[in-house]
Structures are given as structure tokens and as C-alpha cells.
Amino acid sequence: MLKRAINLIFLLSLIMVLIACGNSNNTEGASNEGNESNEGNETTETDDKVYEIDFNNWFSSTHHLTPNALEPWKEFVEEKTNGRVKVNLYHGATLGESTSALEDLSGGVYDMGYINPNYHSDDGWLPLTLGALPFAWPDASYSTETAEVITEFADKYMMDTIEDKVKFVGIFGLNGYYIASSKPIEKFEDIKGQSIRTVGDMLSPVLKEWGAVPVSVATGEVYDALQKGTLDGTTNHPLGFEGDKLYEVAPYITEITVTSGSDVVSMNWDFWNSLPDDLQKQFEEELNPELIRLMHKSYEENLDKAIEILEEEATIITLSEEEEEKFKKAGKIVWDKFASDMDKQGYPGEEMMETFKSLLKEKGINPPYN
């Protein structure tokens, strides 16, 4: 009897151990399946997780892009994803200045924003500053064309460099930049000695040839610098002058298209990789293109309105052909040097310059220098 009792106890213990092991394996299996699902980004629309995008806008809340592009896009994203993605907009460079955008975005300070290549020419982005070459664009009306030229150029030469640090979303072009100043610039001699804000290094040699003093100031700090007198003038497009109300502190606007450029809308890689496959597809095919479309639309449709406001609020100065040529003469220095600068960074400089000139000609624009 004692032997039977011992055998029975042993059998019951063995059964309990087997049951416990089975439960443990099931739990572990379920846990592993969950990790694999997250790693594979296979979450479907039944997932109730909300993905929040912190979007850093260096421009002010009154800048034309804010009400015309960013705020409508926020609503568009939240509606099209049924609330699965929420967009948090931060205006006025709240999360980071334009000068540190590449580092901030790639480092995860925020999830989405735009990068001005002129501030990151030493990070391999120098070729993307081609659109800012002085006098490349005949007047302030070019923005979509700028974006198309630089996008095609980037597709051919620069996409690997861009996506080494950030996820590429799209490129929007800026209108041609004029000069706004606290004192009138009606002839070439008037700019001598004036401190003029420059974006990156592109315009610095030109300003020096003019006898001006180039000063680097972040986008969000330009108004204060002009108000305090640490800047005498700045370059910007008419929409920028109007949207940021720069005419209040720099009421003289000289109509000469000194430069232009484009910004690269980008996303942090960690945030992008956190999105499930279906949302990534939606961003690629629908959400991101809509943002770029809204940006282009804002630049195209608001230029004339901005010029009308500036004509009322500021003094618009049109240079004589003779004076304009004096300004333009200095720009050739930058064009002549640009190919060699790209060569030093390991790029085919001459080929890139010829490609850029060909793309300009396709838009009906003759490059200003041979």
C-alpha cells in the first residue's frame, strides 16, 4: 500500500510539472510572436496604437506655410489614418533652429521637419545648395521649378547621402530672394559696409565682393536682429518678408533675385521604422505627396498677395540695368568656384554643374554665367 501511494504521488507530481511547462511554453510563444509582429511592422488597422509626429516648423505661426500647408496637412493625416497618426506642430523653431536641423532630426529631437542644405554643406549636402547659386533664377516667381530641378538632381546624385541620416519625404522650392534693408539700397555703392544676413556660405563671397558684411543668423532670429540693429539687411523671398513681417524692421526691399533654394522635408529614421507597414505605405503614396503639394500651392498662390502687401507696407526699389549688372558681376565668382568645391568633397563637380545648367535650360532659364 505504501509503495502504491508513493507511485501515485510521483505520478501526480509529474503531471503537474508537465502542465506547468506547457503553460510556460505557450506564454513564451505568445510573447515571441508579439515581438516578431512589432519588429516586422505588420500591425494592421485593428491596432489601436496612436503614432504621434512632433513636427518642427522653424517659421512663425503667421508664415504662409503654417495656415496653408502645415495645418491642413495635420488635419489630412489625422483624417486619412482614422486618428492612428497625430501630428503635433511646433512653430517658430520651438524644437530647434534651422541651423541644426540635420543633427536634431537625425538625432530624434523631433520626428519631422525640413532641412536647408545651405546649413549642412560640410555634411555632404553641398551639391543640394545648387539652387541657391546667385542669380540662377530670373525673378521671385520660381518655386515649383526650383523644387523640380533640385528633386531631379537629388534623385540622380544625392539620395543615398540624404537617406544616410534621415528619411527623405520631398523637396519644396523657395521663391527668389530679394534684399530687405533698414536703409535704402538704390545703387551698388549703397550696400557697402552693411551687415547682411546670409544662409550658409553660398552668398558670403558675393556679399564680400559687394563690400557688405555677411552675417549668419538663424531663421527665427532675423526679426530681432534687424530690430536691434545687429543686422542692416537680409535676403528672403517676398512671402518670407510678408509672413514674418520683416518689413516692419527692414522697410526697403530691393528687387534683385540674389539667390533662391529649396528645403528637404525629412523624417527621423527611428520614427519611420516604428510605423507599421500599412502606415508607411500610406505616407509614401498619399500623405507625404500631399504635404509637398500643399507647400508648392502655398508658394504659387500667395506670391502676388504678398507682393501687394509689401507694396503697401514697404518701399520697393527697382534697380537700373546698369546698377543690377554691378551686383551680378560678383556672382560669377561663386559659379566658377562651385565645381571645384564639390570635387573636394568627392563629387563629380563639373558633371554636376553641367547637369544643373541643363535642368535650368529645360525650364526655359538661361544660366547667368557660361
Residues 34-81 pLDDT 10s: 333 333 354 444 568 999 999 999 888 888 899 999 999 999 999 999
Q: Is the per-residue pLDDT at 242 higher than 60?
A: yes
Supply the CATH classification number for the domain 51-362. Answer: 3.40.190.170
Query: What residue segments make up the domains of the chain, in order of their start?
Result: 51-362
Give me the phi and psi of 316, to 5 degrees please: -90, 125
The overall pTM is greater than 0.85: no
pLDDT given for residue 59 in this prediction: 87
Asked whether the beta carbons of 234 and 197 are under 8 A apart, the reply is yes
How confident is the prediction for the chain on average, in pLDDT? Answer: 88
Query: What is the grid cell recorded at 368?
Result: 547667368
Cell of 70: 502645415
Q: How many CB atoms lie within 10 A of CB 119?
A: 23
Asked if the model's pLDDT at residue 284 lies above 90, the reply is: yes
Q: Distance between CA atoms of 255 and 244, rounded to whole angstroms?
A: 18
Q: Is the pLDDT of residue 251 over 70?
A: yes
